Amino acid sequence: MTFKHYINGRWETGVTIGVSENPSDLADVVGEFARADAAQTETAIRAAADARDSWAHSTPQRRFEVLDAIGTEILARKDELGRLLSREEGKTLPEGVGEAARAGQIFKFFAGEALRIPGERLASVRPGIDVDVTREPVGVVGLIAPWNFPLAIPAWKIAPALAYGNSVVFKPAELVPGCGWALAEIISRSGLPAGVFNLVMGSGRMVGQTLVDSPLVDAISFTGSVGVGESILKGAAERRAKVQLEMGGKNPLVVCNDADLERAVDCAVQGAYFSTGQRCTASSRLIVEAGIHDRFVRRLRERTEALVTDHALKRGTEIGPVVSQAQLEQDLAYVEIGRSEGAEWLCGGERLKRDTEGHYMSPALFLAQPEHRIAREEIFGPVACVIRADSYEHALALANDTPFGLCAGICTTSLAQATHFKRHAQVGMVMVNLPTAGVDFHVPFGGRKGSSYGPREQGRYAAEFYTTVKTAYTHAGLA
Ligand code: NAD
């Protein structure tokens, strides 16, 4: 069986077929999936455009019911969906199930938001006139997702898009069509009118680019790499489409002399290596004050060497495989770059053999200088480096010395230092005595500088992107 696109309320065969494989066991095929060309993508866009008015004028109650039903089903099936996620993407089963649950919670949250679409009423500066400020849907939105959160990221784009009355063309990443398809299958049974939600699978160059270029697509929400994000920004700006980009990170975790050592090491291990380091919020730069540096490094190395890397579905696995051969090669290449530019290798960074053939690699730890490439460029794998800082002020300067600005963490027992860091870290999200990765679903997500562009995702702030504001003046004298 080949899994099909969902276009205009029907399941459609693709122009070609792609295979999704399990990175823990390359002999295990997750499925065969339809792939679209530009013409098929345009059909889906047209369907969304034709459906936009009916959904834009649907009642909040109707939107609530649809989104609530989707959330309820995802939560009821979180174990099965989490298993699929772990099988297809390679994060461990508890992480997969946790992500599936989060996707369900996101739909539930936006079900409620559909009932609370904000507006304002003000008196005019002129006599006898009232002013209403209301939010209306943007129209057709193209949603382009990465592979690393194959349920949660689509959920945090699709749910607000539908809650605020938009119609959707969703393109999952090529490595994880199974998760995108499973989500679409649930959405297809939620009672949406045909064409309001469409799933189109295939390549970024073909499906993604067609979405970016189509004059019928009013807004593009993209999460992925910096290079692709920049090209999308140019394409969208050229035809004045609304655009939102969430891109890379090189997130610092600052460890101060007064930090609780075990907590700091725990934050570093979780932030750097869990989900195989394949998180835009991963802490790949561990900036450690001189007074605690040697103790921290000794303990972190012990913990890193003890991490269990194995099949994502195996009980006891702490680190699953890398998602693909190409990503594995990139991770291993960065380990070589680290060594060749003089960073001190402490452990890991080796290809591992397990019972099944998969993309296994041991988590790597280096002592690096701030100018080293492994300390500056996003690797997106289980590779972290420790950078020594002379003082808190030096650590803060190092933390901010990056083109990225997604997330930053600090481990300290000083309220004054934590407060100072929260105010001065040049990022969209700050963590105190917590790993840099791991966020709530009901508050804004996003960064600054090279990490993000446009309004924040998630929480009530999602309304900024998925709605457009209308100001209406009424002369009360006519009433
Ligand atoms: P990617 O940029 O390669 O692909 C992301 C999506 O864009 C995929 O669906 C892909 O098919 C599509 N795409 C590729 N070329 C395109 C084009 N020319 N036009 C339109 N769409 C195109 O990223 P990836 O490898 O899937 O994900 C990893 C990256 O995502 C990392 O850099 C990571 O930091 C980033 N990421 C960021 C966040 C965040 O919120 N900041 C979250 C997760 C991942």
Q: Which amino acid is at 212?
A: V
CA 411 to chain centre: 24
- What separation in Å is there between the alpha carbon of 252 and the centre of ligand 1? 21
Distance CA 94, CA 313 (A): 9
Residue 74 confidence (pLDDT) above 70? yes
Nearest-CA residue for atom 13 of ligand 1: 204
CATH topology of domain 2-247+451-475: Aldehyde Dehydrogenase; Chain A, domain 1 (3.40.605)
pLDDT higher than 60, residue 286: yes
When pLDDT is averaged across residues 309-336 and rounded to a whole number, the result is 98
Q: Which two tokens stand for residue 474?
A: 């009424």
pLDDT band for position 121 (50/70/90)?
A: very high
Mean pLDDT calculated for residue range 228-239:
97
Give residue 163 CA to ligand 1 midpoint distance, Å.
Answer: 24
Ligand 1 atom, smallest distance to 172 CA: 9
**DSSP 3-state assignment of 107?**
helix
Active site residue 246: yes
Q: What DSSP designation does 192 have? A: P
Q: Under a CB-based contact definition with an 8 Å cutoff, are residues 292 and 255 in contact?
A: yes
Q: How far is the CA of 153 from the centre of ligand 1 (A)?
A: 11
b (16+ CB within 10 A) / e for 334-366: bbebbeeeebeebbbbeeeeeebebbbbbbbbb
- Which pLDDT value is given to residue 84? 98
Looking at the CA of residue 224, tell me the nearest atom of ligand 1. Answer: 30
Closest C-alpha residue for ligand 1 atom 31 = 225
Distance of alpha carbon 36 from alpha carbon 336, whole angstroms:
38
Q: Which residue has the tokens 């051969």?
A: 325
Segment 268-283 shows an average pLDDT of: 98
**What residue segments make up the domains of the chain, in order of their start?**
2-247+451-475, 252-432
Pocket-testing residue among 102, 280, 456, ligand 1, by greatest number of atoms within 8 A of Cβ: 280
Q: In what order do the strands lie in the sheet with 2-3?
A: 2-3, 25-35, 16-22
Percentage of the residues of the chain whose pLDDT score is greater than 70: 99
Please tell me which residue in 12, 95, 174, 246 is annotated as part of the active site.
246
Taking residues 419-425, what's their average pLDDT? 98
Cβ–Cβ < 8 Å for 414, 258: yes
Compute the distance from residue 227 Cα to the ligand 1 centre, in Å.
9
pLDDT at 1: 80
What's the pTM value of the predicted model, to 2 decimals?
0.97
Ligand 1 cavity residues, CB under 6 Å: 144-149, 171, 173-174, 204-205, 208-209, 212, 223-225, 228, 231-232, 246-249, 280, 378, 380, 406, 451
**Pairwise CA distance, residues 149 & 147, whole Å:** 6
Given 179, 280, 407, 411, the catalytic residue: 280
pLDDT (tens digit per residue) in 252-271: 999 999 999 999 999 999 99
Tokens of 99: 């992500």
Output the CA 58–ligand 1 centroid distance in Å: 32
Q: Which residues of 40-71 are buried (b: 16+ CB within 10 A; e: fewer)?
A: bbbbbbbbbbbbbeebbebeeeebbebbbbbb
Fold of the domain spanning 252-432? Aldehyde Dehydrogenase; Chain A, domain 2 (3.40.309)
**Any catalytic annotation for residue 411?**
no
The tokens describing 76, both together, are 């009821």
Ligand 1, closest atom to CA 228? Answer: 2
Out of 20, 209, 243, 247, give the residue to mutate to test ligand 1, the one with the largest number of ligand atoms within 8 Å of its CB: 247
pLDDT higher than 60, residue 478: no
Give the Å distance between the CA of 116 and the centre of ligand 1: 31
Atom index in ligand 1 nearest the CA of residue 147 equals 26
In percent, the amount of the chain with pLDDT more than 90 equals 98
Evaluate if residue 231 carries a pLDDT over 90.
yes
